Amino acid sequence: MMKIIGKSRLKINELSLMSVTAIHTLFIVTCVLCLVPFLFVVSASFSMEEDLIKYGFSLIPKNFTLEAYRILIGSSGNELIRAYLTTIFVTVTGTVMSLFILSTAAYALSRDLKYKSQISFFIYFAMRFSGGMVAWYLVCTQILHIQDTIWALIVPSLVSTWNIIILRTFIKLSVPMEIIESVKMDGGSEWIIYLKFILPLSKPGLATVALFVSLRYWNDWYLPMMLINRADIINLQYYMQRIMASIQMLVELSQREMAVSELANVKTPTESVRMAICLAAMGPMLLAAPFFQKYFIKGITVGSVKG
């Protein structure tokens, strides 16, 4: 008797083969939809320009060629490398500076301060209300005068409320109060506690937030678009934007057919080079994504529960 009940319970709690198939089909289709665009980009970057003009973008290159990468390294290589270096410098510097400010603030907020609720309100308010783009722009350009400097790409996105909240939650979860108490009892200063205990103990939290911050810097198009007018300190994203726009102008200026034949003469990247640049820009992120995944999910979960 028991056995029968057990079996039927199991059955009730199982999906029919059809539903299981349906669910997997749904996910497989969605996954394909998520991956196909990248295959097009990869394929286009290895395609011959003539094939692209004739057949358009396709999943598999008609004739495999490295021409696009040769042009990329040759003519426009310097600009691309400079944009790459700018992005790397901004990402590393920004992340280090940001982590310092975020972690000190998050640690202080994890403690029982008398004015904690006021401080929380101060940072939540900053998250939800903004004075708008123009006032922000004028503060950056008329008061701070950071436009057209490398700092324009770093300083304005150093701190975000969201990251402070996530880091504070991590610190609260991973550092036991007793440790802080006992260090203080032994006469250790807050600075020692922060350096020797908080930072090492909250490493997973720091790693998560470091990823959020560096992703933001790596993918940043907003700051160069708003604050940079010089060609020599644009980052990767904005460089890609310029390349997209330069061709667009060409196409708009001349007749379609004309433009295509002219592309060969004018020293502007062609479609395949464009796609090669796109691949070069997103490559590091795509390769790193699987390793970051775990930390990201953890961070989002912590943020959504506590936020």
Residue list 119-138, contact with another protein (CB under 8 A): 119, 121-126, 128-138
State the Cα–Cα distance between residues 186 and 183, nearest whole angstrom: 5
Q: Which stretch binds another protein (CB under 8 A): 52-60, 66-74, 167-175, 202-210?
A: 52-60
CA dihedral 60, 35, 217, 297 (to 10 degrees): -160
**Which of 71, 167, 240, 276 is close enough to bind another protein by CB under 8 A?**
240
Site for another protein in 75-114 (CB under 8 A): 100-102, 104-105, 107-109, 111, 113-114
Q: C-beta of 265: minimal distance to another protein in Å?
A: 18
210 is a contact residue toward another protein (CB under 8 A) = no
How far CA 160 is from CA of 101, 178, 235, 299, in Å, comes to 10, 29, 21, 14
In the shown chain, the binding pattern of residues 2 to 31 toward another protein, with x for contact by CB under 8 A and - for none, equals: -------x--xxxx---x---xx-xx--xx
Nearer residue to another protein within complex by CB, 172 or 274: 274
Q: C-beta of 267: minimal distance to another protein in Å?
A: 20
- How wide is the angle at C-alpha 275 spanned by C-alphas 248 and 273, nearest 5°? 80
Residue 201 one-letter amino acid: L
**Which of 84, 194, 197, 295 is close enough to bind another protein by CB under 8 A?**
194
Other residues' Cβ atoms within 10 Å of the Cβ of residue 102: 24
**Which of 3, 115, 187, 265 is close enough to bind another protein by CB under 8 A?**
115
**Which of 219, 254, 262, 295 is close enough to bind another protein by CB under 8 A?**
219
Residue of 205, 184, 207 lying closest to 196 (CA atoms)? 184
Nearer residue to another protein within complex by CB, 176 or 283: 283
64 is a contact residue toward another protein (CB under 8 A) = no
Q: C-beta of 75: minimal distance to another protein in Å?
A: 20
Q: Where are the alpha helices (DSSP H) in 219-270?
A: 222-227, 236-253, 256-263
Residue 63 gets the label, from left (phi > 0), alpha (psi -120 to 50) or beta, of: beta
**Which of 63, 78, 174, 189 is close enough to bind another protein by CB under 8 A?**
189
Looking at beta carbons, which pairs linking 218-221 to residues 24 or more positions away fall under 8 Å? Answer: 218/87, 218/91, 218/284, 218/285, 219/285, 220/90, 220/153, 220/157
Residue of 228, 217, 222 lying closest to 285 (CA atoms)? 217
In the shown chain, the binding pattern of residues 280 to 299 toward another protein, with x for contact by CB under 8 A and - for none, equals: -xx--xx--xx-xx--xx--
